[in-house]
Structure 1
Amino acid sequence: MKIPCSALAGVVLLAVTSGLSCAEELHLNFALLHNPVWATADNLRDPSVLKTPEGYHLFYSRLAGKTWASPGSWTVAEALTQDFVHFEGDHDVSAKGYASPGDVVFWHGRYLLPYQTYPSTPTQLCFSESPDLHAWSAPKAFLPEARTLPWNTLQRVIDPTLIVEGDTLHCYFIGSTNVTDAAGKTLRANLLGHAITHDPKLEHWEILTPDAPLLGVSASAPDGVENIMIFRTGKDWTMIYSEGLVNQHLALAVSSDLRAWQPQGPLELPRQKWMARKYGAPFVWREGGQWVMILMGEDAVGKTTFGLLTSPDGKHWTLLPE
């Protein structure tokens, strides 16, 4: 079995037990790349990357066709690439009616891939497990108590993100409520929750946000946050997330302990054509001496594709040329 020698989402260092050594790991040639790095006939959303010696496993939400409200339009899918030029083995990992894959982590002897039911209600957090990153189990529901938190008034739970911290598994998730904007209009707002477990089966959780969310409505995000990504930067943790729903953009927060977060404000990016309408759902990993982000962008006609950015510190980002 091949286990990544790079950090899983910047969190856990694992050894390679077979295949290429860490010194022989793949490295991207950015001079060959331009944005968007991947576009297909489908709408590509919610990317998540796991780098292994055999390549970059790219998990994503596949929206086939334009019928957003139909469960039959949605699957969690995966492709493998060694260079972000050629993509192989593009296939569905889940049955229809699932979306939004989060960080793949190695936990108690197997890989976990978190995602959610979508768009049928009520939504539910799920995970699949795999011994080898190739054969994935059927979805298993987890953390159902997140749906009934007092601040999650719409009883909606989406966008799971897993972080391994020693013998603790963190799950960040999104709940929803209705808010009234300055014009008196009712909006759905997304709010960030947090739970932890020490249970290998993910059946018993402690919710750390029972009475209020970690992040939510603000002046720059009147309809809240979603699609968070957390990675270690020096002594602290950095969170990059989608801020706002209608006017979506990226924002930053930092933490020393994964529990208390200090928002740092929006992360401003220049617009390229593939992200002209909006952008979000960031995912970050370490590549040599820098950070790499894959980002979902929506163009002027509503097509969603993926592009790449680089950063020396996880806070200041440069888009690859278009």
Structure 2
Amino acid sequence: MQLKTPPEEKANEVRVNDSGSDQSSQGQLSVRSASKVFPSLTGEGEVCVFEDVSIEIANGEFVSIIGHSGCGKSTLLNILAGFDSATTGEVLVDNKPIKGPGLDRMVVFQSFALMPWLSAFENVRVAVQSAFPSWSKANVIAHTNRYLQLMGLGDIGKKMPAHLSGGMRQRVGLARAFAVQPKALMLDEPFAQIDALTRGSIQDELVRMWDKAGATVCMVTHDVDEAILLSDRIALMTNGPNARIAEIIDVDIPRPRTRELLIESDDYMKLRARILRFLIDHNRRPTALDDTAHAMEAYPTSAIQGHVDS
């Protein structure tokens, strides 16, 4: 990942590439005929979480993945992030194999994942320092403060995560992710533990930052309305084990989108009904014979609008 010139001017503007180089080929995520197999909990045989999964996510595109718990959504996201690896197939960023975690692919978790012994400012600063080790201390501090301010956190930098609300903690997580200026951003149900009113405002801030930064985004969610509001395309996964991507739907609703406009849109209502019908058709509770414990998502989900529980 190219180092970018530290921001010293235009404090309220997010620049996609401060170095001036072409980023048109940066941030493309590719999953090609991938499968993931875990050992069975009984010690006999294996469990295939998902199989033959393929999806291409273009540079700067926002794609959401929806499916019932246990279909391997978060497992797939972990593989894209480099925390895990596919059993078969290819997983690439910019046509290069993903071999492990990297600052070119930042992850925002449902559980916030802040370092509790560091202040909000330090949680962001440490990431910035790691991403841009050649920058001076003054530039790292300025860059950190800038992204905290862009997320509406300018006055809470000294506070510890334990003293912040869930919404504030997730804002810190997003500030940290965008401050590193990654090629791609992985969102693992980032709003599931946040109340509805706060969730809406953070979603708006996410879209604003994404629109200016130009990073590719892959988000796992159970929330149909959230997926339609935020995404360019939505991938629908069948149930696990042996889950697959059943279809990938284009969200042909013009941007900028607002909730008020969406609820009055016939296209939104048709798309929402189509996705809900898919989820209802696949609403099968696992039986005692299904050995899918290893395939379950890494974090529990909360009941949210548009959530169809499995």
Kindly indicate whether structure 1 or structure 2 has the higher relative contact order, using CA contacts under 8 Å at least 6 residues apart: 2
More helix by share: 2
More strand by share: 1
TM beyond 0.5: no
Q: Which has more radius of gyration?
A: 2
